[in-house]
Structure 1
Amino acid sequence: MSIWWSLHLRREAASVPLARRLLLGAMETAGVDPDISYDLSVALTEACANAVEHGGGGARGTSGVYRVTAYLDGERCRIEVTDSGPGFTHPPAIRPARVDAEHGRGLCLIRELADHVHIGNKPGRGGTVVSFDKMLKWTKDAPLVAV
């Protein structure tokens, strides 16, 4: 079984829960274990929030779009969030954030919740790509698991 979807979203805070709900709905329909779905939805939320906050040329929410693509392929889910911001001159260091920090925990959370994480610049015109994947577990009698 293989499914994928892609969203082009405005760089606005209201787009983040939309992406999260779509992912959770697709995973529930496919029969993905709820704990795995939850981990991936939190990681997606953090990646989308970063795209909204940092992923454009103007002030937050005033310009640009970002893209979310999710692939459920066999036993793995891969998610990519691509923005149109300036990208990085150096890859970001992912350091544990202070417990009381209100910002700066997103990439660390993504790393903790996913099996593999890659953060880099989008080829060509700039922007950042945050991609992560996780091995899937299925519920008993999952409807979309390949036999």
Structure 2
Amino acid sequence: MTSQQAQPTVTVSVFTHTFPATRLGASLARRFASRQLGGWGISPGAPLHDTVALIVAELAANAARHGRVPGRNFELRLLYEHKTTVVRIEVSDTHPRRPDPSSVGMADPEADGGRGLALVEAVAHRWGVDDRTGPGKTVWAQTEPVVS
């Protein structure tokens, strides 16, 4: 007779969706992320919700604007660790150009853009850029864990 061990409780939820690399796709990514966060019990107006929504908006806008390859989409992936309430946001596109973390915050004050990653850096606990399978890269950011 074998003894059965209790399975550990699943503490990570994952959401993945592909969007067109357009302004509309970036807007939809933010809306879908907001809806998913609500499904995980993270309500609009809560600091974690608003932080994640801002990060998704900026990374998705960058994927649509700077990571766009005609005929290709970008992917949004959210991972929510329930115990620590950490959310990891990943946006993958197929463009080979990678953002330079050392130049974040050096946007021309007169320019219309160039501040998205500075915002991400300001509100995220950590962020970075990784290679992905196939062409392109994944830009990711992670929220700060809640300290009990």
**TM-score per shorter chain, which class?**
0.7 to 0.9
- Relative contact order, CA 8 A, sep 6+: which one is greater? 1
Q: Indicate the SS of the match to 1:97.
A: coil
Q: For residues 124 and 48 of structure 1, what CA distance do their matches in structure 2 show?
A: 19
Q: TM-score under structure 2 normalisation? A: 0.77
Q: 1:67 maps to which residue?
A: 75
Over the matched positions of the two proteins, sequence identity in percent amounts to 21
Q: 1:50 maps to which residue?
A: 62
In structure 1, give the amino acid aligned to 2:125. Answer: D
Q: Does structure 2 retain, via aligned residues, the 8 Å contact 1:5–1:70?
A: yes
Give 1:99 shift. Answer: 5.1
Q: Does 1:134 align with 2:143?
A: yes
Stretches of structure 2 lacking an aligned partner (at least 5 in a row)? 1-10
Q: Does structure 1 retain, via aligned residues, the 8 Å contact 2:19–2:28?
A: no
Moved over 6 A (4+): none
Q: Does structure 2 retain, via aligned residues, the 8 Å contact 1:69–1:80?
A: yes
Give 1:15 shift. Answer: 1.1
In structure 2, give the amino acid aligned to 1:94. Answer: V
Q: TM-score under structure 1 normalisation? A: 0.77
Q: Indicate the SS of the match to 1:14.
A: helix
Give 1:81 shift. Answer: 0.3
Stretches of structure 1 lacking an aligned partner (at least 5 in a row)? 138-147
Q: Does structure 2 retain, via aligned residues, the 8 Å contact 1:95–1:108?
A: yes
